[in-house]
Amino acid sequence: MKIAVNTRFLLPDHLEGIGWFTCETFRQLTRQHPEHEFHFFFDRSYSDTYLFSDNITPHVLQPPARHPVLWYWWFEWSVVRKLKQLQPDLFISPDGFLSLNTQIPTLLVIHDLAFEHFPSHIGKLARQYYRRYTPLFTQKAARIATVSEYSKQDIVSQYRVAPDKIDVVYNGSNGYYRALSKEQQRNIRQHLTNGKEYFLFAGALQPRKNVANLLRAFDQFKQKTGSTTQLILVGRKAWHYDGIMEAYNEMNDKADVQFLGHKNAVDLSGIMGAAKSLVYVSRFEGFGIPLLEAMQAEVPVITSNTSSMPEIAGEAAWLTDPYSVESIADAMMKIDNDKKLRQQLVDAGKNQRQKFSWQQTANELWESVEKTVYKREKSGLHFAGEASS
């Protein structure tokens, strides 16, 4: 079987949610299925580290697609032209977009519909593109995979997609995240905060991540407790982060807050492993990979009681209202003061994390591939190079 894959989010040293999903899932799939031929579609020069096995052929399709106009150009012209040339049996697109002008069956991965719930959090052109084309993508796709039961129901509700067309394929967490020894934790804290404990936020700085309320809550936590615990934020400045900086500038205890910018997985795993708690109080998530990373690192979690986060966290997190600064601050006080509670959450995380792995993600996505192929075979179509019976 010949399989084409949209790999435009495989960006060296800049992997985020979709990039990690693409990287880790296809690292497994291409190695586990040497009998199949994979064609990776990049939109810029690529790193050889993403050519995971000998059965991968890379293709660079221009232009780099990082703007709504260029998204359309790339998917409806560049990708369509290459699909017509290769005639693959299947096109897999892990970033929520596909090509409408092709007859190649497509397995589409949709991670979330945040733009439907928080349209003001993204630019006007991007919002218009998502809202116009995503309903068409869901109808065009031969099959859809998504990363949580919450997201599946959201797709069904928003676009009236039949539930049996959608497979839940949970994310995993890479092996960098693991429990650190007390000595390792002390060394990292000494380097970052002169030995003080700290809460951690990990994620892109944009409105949906609710960082402004996190900063306000941390300030309230400091004022109420006088605790020496600090706050570290790891993540790139994404978009509309002015409100975050305004909240930061209004803080009384801003001296105890550090913005470290983007960190690679190795560095972030150390920062995570030495944290007193992950505080991930996003307003909306399709999955929330940092929750799983914290469980792998045996770090307690504070997260939101909205969207997919209760599903992913299970009993392994203290849930809070992301719209209430007081609720977030109260959660931080509980975690900061209660060692027994922290250990209970860590113990629950050891059980909850067993439900997720990139190997399981790959297995579940391959099941979606097989369902898509089975549907094609049942319809009387054949793989490229096969003779009709």
Q: For 142-162, how does the pLDDT look when each residue is reduced to its tens digit (9 = 90+)?
A: 999 999 999 999 999 999 999
Q: Under CATH, what is the fold of the domain 182-355?
A: Rossmann fold (3.40.50)
Sign of CA dihedral 110, 116, 117, 121: positive
Q: Under CATH, what is the fold of the domain 2-172+357-378?
A: Rossmann fold (3.40.50)
pLDDT for 388: 34
pLDDT for 66: 87
Q: Where in the chain is the domain with CATH 3.40.50.2000?
A: 2-172+357-378, 182-355
**Contact of 307 with 287, CB cutoff 8 Å:** no
pLDDT for 174: 82
Q: Which residue has the tokens 């040497």?
A: 34
**Contact of 138 with 101, CB cutoff 8 Å:** no
CA dist 37 and 35 (Å) reads 7
pLDDT for 230: 98
pLDDT for 382: 45
pLDDT for 145: 98
pLDDT for 378: 53
**Contact of 210 with 316, CB cutoff 8 Å:** no
pLDDT for 377: 55
Question: In terms of C-beta density within 10 A (0-12 exposed, 13-18 middle, 19 or more buried), how is residue 122 classed?
Answer: buried
What are the residue ranges of helices labelled H in 88-148?
114-117, 124-140
Residues of the chain with pLDDT under 70: 375-389
Peptide bond into 207 cis (omega under 30): no
Structure tokens at 373: 């192929």
pTM score of the predicted model: 0.92
Nearest Cα neighbor of 108 from 71, 141, 130, 66 is 141
Buried (b) or exposed (e) across 124-150, using 16+ Cβ within 10 A?
Answer: eebbebbeebbeebbebbbbbbbbbeb
**If DSSP codes are grouped into helix, strand and coil, which group holds residue 58?**
strand
